Amino acid sequence: EAQVTQNPRYLITVTGKKLTVTCSQNMNHEYMSWYRQDPGLGLRQIYYSMNVEVTDKGDVPEGYKVSRKEKRNFPLILESPSPNQTSLYFCASSRKTDRGRPSGANVLTFGAGSRLTVL
């Protein structure tokens, strides 16, 4: 089954304790992205990656790191989590067309989400 898998689904941690949320897709997608979802704010993009070893900042990158060493994996790293990073996190992926971008749109397949609480 084609899917985006995130782990953990739920995590409660304390301020300053480094954590990693993993994301893996089995669709051979070039593009991957991380979002956080907060009430009243919708989904905000944290980081995205066009391909292996190519990453770029989204709208809210502060406090986060990412890496893309393999095509299928795109982990989100919180080096020193703070309470304002308590949120619901989503990983998503999409493919590129032969022309280098999807015909008309960047169509995303989302993971099921990871709910993170930082105390």
Partner 1 sequence: TQLLEQSPQFLSIQEGENLTVYCNSSSVFSSLQWYRQEPGEGPVLLVTVVTGGEVKKLKRLTFQFGDARKDSSLHITAAQPGDTGLYLCAGERSWGKLQFGAGTQVVVTP
Among 2, 27, 112, 119, binds partner 1 (CB under 8 A): 112
Q: Is 110 in the site for partner 1 (CB under 8 A)?
A: yes
Distance CA 84, CA 56 (A): 22
Q: Is 60 in the site for partner 1 (CB under 8 A)?
A: no
Q: Is 105 in the site for partner 1 (CB under 8 A)?
A: yes
CA-based end-to-end distance of the chain: 36
Q: Is 111 in the site for partner 1 (CB under 8 A)?
A: yes
What part of residues 10-39 is at the interface with partner 1 (CB under 8 A)? 31, 33, 35
Q: Is 74 in the site for partner 1 (CB under 8 A)?
A: no
Residue entry with tokens 């060493």: 69
Distance CA 27, CA 29 (A): 5
Distances in whole angstroms, Cα of residue 71 to Cα of each of 20, 30, 40: 18, 7, 33
Q: Is 50 in the site for partner 1 (CB under 8 A)?
A: yes
Residue 12: alpha-carbon gap to chain centroid: 18
Contact positions vs partner 1 (CB under 8 A): 4, 31, 33, 35, 40-45, 48, 50, 56, 58-59, 90, 92, 101, 104-113
